[in-house]
Structure 1
């Protein structure tokens, strides 16, 4: 998902590196906090998210920042069993005329995730289960980007 935001890279970076940003927009993510002594986006930093979903129940995930290019991109992975990557997420910022383009993307896998029990129980519905989950992710990313734009818009008025 992408959104053109009328701000500079510093402003966009401050917004996308706030790990609590998705809590503002998500019907699923209830809270997030840094783990241990981590307090900012940097490689190796970990944070914990608490989630609640009508179909999957409540659960927690631990995420680890794996890549940071200041004012440009940060990537984190969701840790599954044995610290395997069950999903990867990122925010990216590109310069544009009259602002920046902010992009958020995500990728499932390669390790099993919270979808695995549902797929194992009903393998004939795997395509539907994955499609629905990806639609939820896309809706969440759109909401995150709209929230960022709203923050910039409200600060400029």
Structure 2
């Protein structure tokens, strides 16, 4: 994978893909429904639109609350940075100009269904993971590697949930 041996400053990424037996419009309804995402994620506990937003659109913001056995609990505000129905839905965490992470769903029509991918980029702004790296700078590459593997596992599970919902 491209993030092997990466440092946080390298803004490592990981992407997972699956095929869904449903049209992109149906899959789009699911991936852009941020309030539903905690049901597909091991870490994400709750999500709600803020600042009067009621749904996806570039500039809309949402508050997410997450929990992790080693990292604790935290909340972040994300801003939608790409919203092209039914092709792409992406958001930047904390600051859209200097995010702690960027997440993206991409939907591509394929074989009478949808190729669905989820992608994440860590950084460039410091995040909670930065605290662990600062405490153990000699283990930065291992810390980043482990976190990216967690992202990969969690994203694979998220896509499986979306696939099941869309195909139901």
Shorter-chain TM-score category? over 0.9
Q: What do residues 117-157 of structure 1 show as CA deviations (whole Å, max 9, x unaligned)?
A: 11001001111111111111111111111011111232xxx
Q: Please point out which of 39, 53, 77 is paired with 1:24.
A: 39
1:128 aligns with 2:142: yes
TM-score (norm 1): 0.92
TM-score (norm 2): 0.86
Q: Which moved more, 1:88-97 or 1:12-21?
A: 12-21
1:92 aligns with 2:111: no
Higher relative contact order at CA 8 Å, sep ≥6: structure 1 or structure 2? 2
Give the whole-Å Cα distance in 2 for the aligned partners of 1:63 and 1:84.
12
Secondary structure at 1:48 match in 2: strand
Q: What do residues 29-76 of structure 1 show as CA deviations (whole Å, max 9, x unaligned)?
A: 111111121011101000011111111111101100011111000110
Secondary structure at 2:143 match in 1: helix
In the alignment, which residue of structure 1 is the partner of 2:157? 143
Number of positions where the alignment pairs a residue of Structure 1 with one of Structure 2 = 153
Distance 1:38 1:49, change over 3 A: same
Give the whole-Å Cα distance in 2 for the aligned partners of 1:4 and 1:65.
24
In the alignment, which residue of structure 1 is the partner of 2:127? 113
* Structure 2 residues not aligned, in runs of 5+: 1-15
1:59 aligns with 2:74: yes
1:44 aligns with 2:59: yes
What RMSD over aligned residues (CA atoms) do the two structures have, in Å? 1.5
- Runs of 4 or more, structure 1, over 6 Å off, are none
Secondary structure at 1:43 match in 2: coil
> Structure 1 residue 25: deviation in Å?
2.3
Give the whole-Å Cα distance in 2 for the aligned partners of 1:86 and 1:45.
17
Q: Is the 8 A contact 2:40 2:162 kept in 1?
A: no
* Structure 1 residues not aligned, in runs of 5+: none
